[in-house]
Amino acid sequence: MTLMLKRRAVLGALALPALTGAAFTGQARAEAISRPARLIVGFPPGGSSDIVARLYAEKLRGLYAPTVIVDGRVGAAGRIAVEAVKAAEPDGTVFLQTPASMLTLQPHVFPREVRYDALTDLIPVSTVCSFPFALAVPANHPAKTLAELVTWMKAQRGEVPFASPAAGSAPHFLGVSFGKTIGVPVTHVPYRGAVPAVQDLIGGRLPIFVGVLGDVSPQHGTGARMLAVSSPQRNPRYPDVPTFLELGYPALSKDEWFGVLLPANTPAPIVNGLHAAIVQASRMPDLVAALDRLEFLPTVSASPAAFRDLIARERAEYGPIVRDSGFQPEN
């Protein structure tokens, strides 16, 4: 099943009555706010960010607010949505769901364009899910393991090309970090999305692809071969694919996540109420199953303070990685 078909399956499931969710929302619990709320996302309908937002919006209805609708503010690579929440009233009726890179990576990649600070203009509430990256090669590549790929890369003359879904993306810098870790110069080949990159990978026009696991996993064992994943543990669906961590590359063990944030100055009871509602929603079996179909995990922060620390730590880690790569926005 391709990732697009998986997403369609999840969207189809959203149209079904959420019996499990109803059972949970029937539990006695006061809503954090009494007015309808809007969950802002910065990416188009049908994409993973929009799907995850709709899954949680349905479950947060009655837990956090009487109703929660998803409001797409698409544009500027997701930055318009962040800026909209930054400017919103701090009353809990508007909150944001965004990928990690918008908060931790883009401030370094696009310093002139990013006009927000996640730690001062917003209040981090919690992560809502996480998902790993994968490094893959064509199925007919001579390297059958990551160790063999390293040997192959070191034997090449000049820089070794690798592809990612976009310039300045997290997979871009994961590939750069991999090359630096093994001491091999690499050249980044940016694409406009994962689909054309994976197509060129399975067609043998690219030797290496680094991207979201779910974008390449449907081709694993047929047109492509995943050699490593960035999650802390092996994926149960692909037990033959080791992790970077177990292969001796702890610096490459990094998951991407989606997180929820509120405008700065939102009262603490609302912040804590939204966090508690997210925790409860993340335990609902049908939501867990829907995320699993996307090959995502329902990952929730222990507290808003813990999520704030995560953003601060990852943002600091990306600084030297981007600087040492020599990346320029026009690349």
pLDDT at 330: 56
Residue 40 backbone dihedrals phi, psi, to 5 degrees: -90, 130
Residue ending a domain, among 238, 254, 270, is 254
Global confidence as pTM = 0.82
pLDDT of residue 159: 95
Residue 8 pLDDT > 70, yes or no?
no
Least Cα distance to 195 among 166, 233, 226, 153 occurs for 166
Q: What is the mean pLDDT of the chain?
A: 90
Say whether both 174 and 240 belong to one domain. yes
Q: Is 328 within a domain?
A: no
The pLDDT tens digits of the residues spanning 177-193 come to: 999 999 999 999 988 88
Sheet strands (E) in 156-223: 160-164, 186-190, 209-212
- pLDDT of residue 225 exceeding 60: yes
Question: Is residue 224 scored above 60 in pLDDT?
Answer: yes
10-19 pLDDT, tens digit each: 444 444 433 3
What value does the mean pLDDT take over residues 299-317?
A: 97
As a whole number, mean pLDDT of residues 63-71 equals 97
Give the C-alpha separation, 262 to 126, whole Å: 10
pLDDT in tens, 244-256: 999 999 999 989 9
pLDDT in tens, 26-35: 443 567 899 9
Q: For residues 264 and 127, state if they share a domain.
A: yes
How confident is the model over 107-134, as pLDDT tens digits?
999 999 999 999 999 999 999 999 999 9
Q: Are strands 186-190 and 160-164 parallel, antiparallel or unpaired?
A: parallel
Q: Is 280 domain-assigned? A: yes
Can you give the pLDDT at residue 76?
A: 86
pLDDT (mean) for 133-161: 97
12 and 56 in a common domain: yes
Residues 224 and 237 in one domain: yes
Q: Do residue 282 and residue 172 come from a single domain?
A: no
Using alpha carbons, list the distances in angstroms from residue 309 to 118, 124, 126, 245, 302: 11, 9, 11, 22, 11
Q: Bigger pLDDT: 168 or 21?
A: 168
* Model confidence at 146: pLDDT above 50: yes
- The sign one gets for the Cα dihedral 321, 198, 229, 143 is negative
Residue 103 shares a structural domain with residue 151: no
pLDDT of residue 13: 45
Least confident of 40-49, 174-183, 305-314: 40-49
49 and 156 inside one domain: no
Same domain, 28 and 125: yes
- In angstroms, the CA 167 to CA 192 distance is 8
The Cα–Cα gap between 54 and 36 comes to: 15
For a pLDDT cut of 70, what percent of the chain falls above it? 90
Residues 147 and 240 in one domain: yes
- Which pLDDT does position 194 carry in this prediction? 87
Could you tell me if 231 and 267 lie in one domain? no
- Of 17-31, 60-74, 133-147, 308-322, minimum mean pLDDT range: 17-31
Which residues are 41's β-sheet partners?
A: 72
- The predicted model gives 93-104 an average pLDDT of 96
CATH code for position 204: 3.40.190.10
For residue 327, is it within any domain?
no
172-201: buried (b, 16+ CB within 10 Å) or exposed (e) per residue? bbbbbbbbeebebebebbebeebeebbebb
Range of the structural domain that residue 225 is part of: 133-254
- Which tops the pLDDT comparison, 24 or 174? 174
- Cα radius of gyration rounded to whole Å, the chain: 20
Query: How high is the pLDDT of residue 23?
Result: 38
Question: In this structure, what token pair is assigned to residue 120?
Answer: 């001062």
Q: Are strands 68-72 and 37-41 parallel, antiparallel or unpaired?
A: parallel
